């Protein structure tokens, strides 16, 4: 009788563990698919193009896309709550314009300009979050208005490109950290610090748990007493801050401010997040997947560059195909989960 009871308990435990195991596999499937795609692309590039397998090529992808990675981190927070932020590209451009104008035309010191533009970006995101929450405006509409506003402010400052010659900015643009014959820019290190900090927030803080809960079901989160409104405002504030920081990194990269900088960047950020496995409906996703998504976009551009005879528009075509494929994958995973 004792043995029979132990057998029933063991069977019951195994039966309860099986659904959890299957659920974990479903949650990790999109990220694993992105990782497999990245490995496949890198392998095909290494086989077909001489010099592609050089580690510096992969590091160059990070160097060229450090600003996109930071913006995509903020977008991940927003999409995890089931929202969207179409203003990020315009805020990036506005940040470059404000920085260039204050540094070159007003003569402000970089120690004042840098925290000021970050504060402006965070305040811009905070304002959009408040509009979305208190006026119950759809995030698509509210952030679309924010996009037009920020892009228009760029041209209020100047219709022309403003070169940046400030000593601090040029030093940050030219500085490289070398190790073992390879190098990365300072912007890459800043982006990686942002990724690690954001990953910690999502995994180990109350805000992170609230973000996932709100994205999973806002009504349930509200019934549980979670601060749904405060969480929504917080994620748009984070997105605005990350957009401003991405604008600073882009100004390091371009050494200029221009109203046409980062045109379409919001779509690249959304694509990176979705290809990285974050559900557009919210509630499921990982920052590691977003990093992989940015690397996938960067490798597509690199492969087209190595090919040499393809138009840059092929980048958009391939991204569109991948985005459609990952949305279908997410849909299939969601259906199985339900």
94: burial class by Cβ within 10 Å (0-12, 13-18, 19+)? Answer: buried
Cβ 278 vs Cβ 284: under 8 Å: yes
Give the chain's domains with CATH numbers: 29-337 (1.10.3470)
Would you state the structure tokens that stand for residue 304, as one six-digit string? 């087209």
The rounded distance, in Å, linking the Cα atoms of 318 and 311 is: 12
Largest CA distance in the chain: 87
> What does the pLDDT average to over 21-31?
67
pLDDT in tens, 39-69: 999 999 999 999 998 999 999 999 999 999 9
Q: With bands split at pLDDT 50, 70 and 90, how would you rate the model's confidence at 25?
A: low
- pTM score: 0.91
- Residues 35, 69: Cα–Cα separation, whole Å: 16
Residue 222 structure tokens: 């509200």
Give the confidence band of 120 by pLDDT, cuts at 50, 70, 90: very high
The span from the CA of 271 to the CA of 301, in Å, is: 14
Q: Say what the pLDDT of residue 331 is.
A: 75
Helix (H, G, I), strand (E, B) or coil at 29: helix
């Amino acid at each position: 009788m004792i043995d029979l009871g132990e057998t029933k308990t063991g069977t019951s435990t195994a039966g309860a563990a099986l659904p959890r195991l299957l659920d974990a596999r479903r949650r990790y499937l999109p990220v694993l698919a992105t990782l497999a795609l990245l490995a496949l692309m890198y392998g095909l590039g290494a086989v077909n193009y001489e010099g592609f397998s050089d580690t510096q090529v992969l590091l160059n992808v990070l160097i060229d896309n450090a600003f996109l990675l930071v913006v995509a981190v903020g977008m991940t927070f927003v999409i995890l709550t089931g929202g969207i932020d179409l203003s990020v590209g315009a805020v990036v451009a506005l940040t470059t314009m404000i920085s260039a104008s204050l540094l070159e035309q007003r003569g402000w010191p970089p120690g004042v300009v840098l925290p000021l533009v970050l504060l402006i970006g965070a305040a811009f995101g905070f304002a959009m979050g408040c509009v979305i929450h208190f006026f119950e405006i759809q995030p698509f509409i509210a952030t679309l208005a924010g996009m037009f506003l920020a892009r228009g402010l760029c041209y209020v400052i100047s219709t022309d490109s403003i070169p940046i010659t400030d000593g601090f900015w040029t030093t940050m643009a030219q500085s490289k950290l070398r190790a073992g014959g390879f190098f990365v820019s300072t912007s890459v290190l800043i982006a990686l610090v942002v990724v690690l900090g954001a990953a910690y927030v999502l995994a180990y803080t109350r805000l992170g748990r609230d973000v996932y809960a709100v994205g999973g079901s806002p009504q349930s989160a509200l019934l549980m007493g979670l601060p749904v409104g405060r969480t929504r405002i917080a994620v748009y504030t984070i997105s605005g801050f990350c957009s401003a920081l991405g604008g600073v990194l882009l100004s390091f990269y371009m050494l200029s401010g221009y109203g046409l900088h980062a045109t379409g960047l919001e779509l690249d950020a959304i694509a990176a997040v979705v290809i990285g496995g974050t559900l557009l409906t919210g509630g499921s996703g990982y920052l590691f997947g977003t990093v992989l998504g940015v690397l996938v976009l960067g490798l597509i551009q690199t492969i087209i560059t190595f090919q040499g005879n393809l138009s840059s528009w092929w980048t958009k075509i391939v991204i569109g195909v991948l985005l459609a494929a990952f949305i279908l994958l997410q849909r299939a995973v969601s259906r199985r989960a339900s």
